[in-house]
Structure 1
Amino acid sequence: MSNHSGGAPPTGTAHLLAARAGGVLTLTLNRPEARNAFSREMLDGLAGMLDFAAASDDVRAVVITGAGGAFCAGGDLGKLAAGESIFGPAGDPGTRLAAQKALQRATVVRLRELDKPSVALIGGAAVGAGLGLALACDLRYAAASAVLRTGFGRIGLAGDFGCTWQLARLLGASRALELLYLSPPLTAARARDLGLVNEAVADDELAEHGAKLAARLAALSPDAVSAMRRHVDRAHGHDLAACADAEAEWHVRLLESGGHHDAVRAISHGRAVRTPSDPENPGAKRA
């Protein structure tokens, strides 16, 4: 049985733990003996939890982290070395391909398209498909001792779980190919400098930092968050005029929303809608 609390449903597997508190759904990859490498059970559980997050009004932000001092090692090297696959029989590539495509869409693609803020807290290794999972989140924060690595080239593979797409969008083609070809181990500080993570955080502060950040995200207007996501995604394929037009349409719509009215009312009374830990407004009370 999986552990769950705060109103989160069971994940169906001990390989993924779920807890919900204060509008934040925290999902913990839980195979520490394998550096939280993917299992079929873990991915099925993650897919179910992301469906739950998308459908639940009580979930306002999603945090993904790993147990036992690692984030996720991606593919299970033990199974790969034995010629096995978590996606199906070794002698049936068609079945494996169909299962992997479906699970990629249900996990990293679902996460990337989720209309709610998502955060990866990277404590320890994030490698291969595990790196792809972290990159699918909106925001990424890494412990100072964390190591990020593509890993694919070292074992004769080319990438999966959206890792190559995310790297190309975040870094550009040349830098993405360098990381894919050579697979250098990146410290948290180097990953921050490249733009792969938002911030490097002291190891013993990562969990608290993530909790405070997630609480701030959960306090945002869901409609405004959805619009921001659409604006940023649109910017990759449209010109400035089209993006500005779309911004204006959402701006007019959101001006009529309760979230906007509540926030303006709170600010006008000196009660900005921020959590007490907001560094820009210490001691502020939430409206």
Structure 2
Amino acid sequence: MTRDELFPPRGSSLAQFTRAAEAVSQDVIGAYSTSFGMATRLLGRRHRRHVRNIYALVRVADEIVDGVADQAGLSLEEQRDALDRYAAETRHALRTGYSTDLVVHAFALTARECGIDEALIEPFFDSMRSDLVDGDRRIAFDEAAHAAYVYGSAEVVGLMCLRVFLRDRGAADAVRLRAEHGARQLGAAFQNVNFLRDLGDDTARLGRSYLGEGSALTQRELESWVTEIRSQLADAEEAIPLLPLDARAAVRSAHALFANLTDRIARTPATELTARRIRVPNPVKLILVASAILATIRDRRR
């Protein structure tokens, strides 16, 4: 594609439409996640809008399966149809570079510029589809199903962001593979932490057991998941120096936030996780962000 196709002249109707689409994506991340919204502000300007566009697309799909469509009165079949239409529109926009859906339009432009293809998009929608089952049926994941779900729902999102960060950089295959492993591990850690944070809502309202086939999480299982998450975070941290400098502060701050959440979850009895959602206080978030910024400043001086 030519640069004019990716970035139409500012005065054109398409350019105006694209600016509106990207503003909507920014609104989505602002409405749904203060933590990730804060992290994206630490990205270099050349990355910021792309990551917001990715977040907005996956957030809308996630909301379809997590109750918004149901609360709007859609039947299970209608919810499946809504998700399938959203996936089809995403594929179409990826081919054409245009969608009447503002969020999809913004994502498609990011995907086309950064090399995000259907090999990453389809596993994501596959994981979303697995959440839509008959209301009287519980979703319980064994080890293999958990791994497949986490890959599609979270690891591919990490890989999408990595393609944004590395789009202008050539990298040796060995370096790229290490960076991809780190991106997948960070996505998996984020998802597993969220499974633990949302344990009460997932089991009571949505009827889902993402962390095993048992009816309740035991203390031993909790300790095992915390160990797994810490290993994933350690792998992800090793890959941060492989990222461009203008992406590191944001990734470090998100990593630090989830490491802190993991520590807080580890100190919480398993029986309490279903009763309350663990959070990081805002003053602590600010300290974590400041530390991430300082670490990246030190990288620049080396």
Tell whether the structures are fold-level matches, with TM greater than 0.5: no
Q: Which has the higher contact order (CA 8 A, sep 6+)?
A: 2
Between Structure 1 and Structure 2, which shows a larger proportion of strand residues? 1
Provide TM-score, normalisation by structure 2: 0.27
Provide TM-score, normalisation by structure 1: 0.28
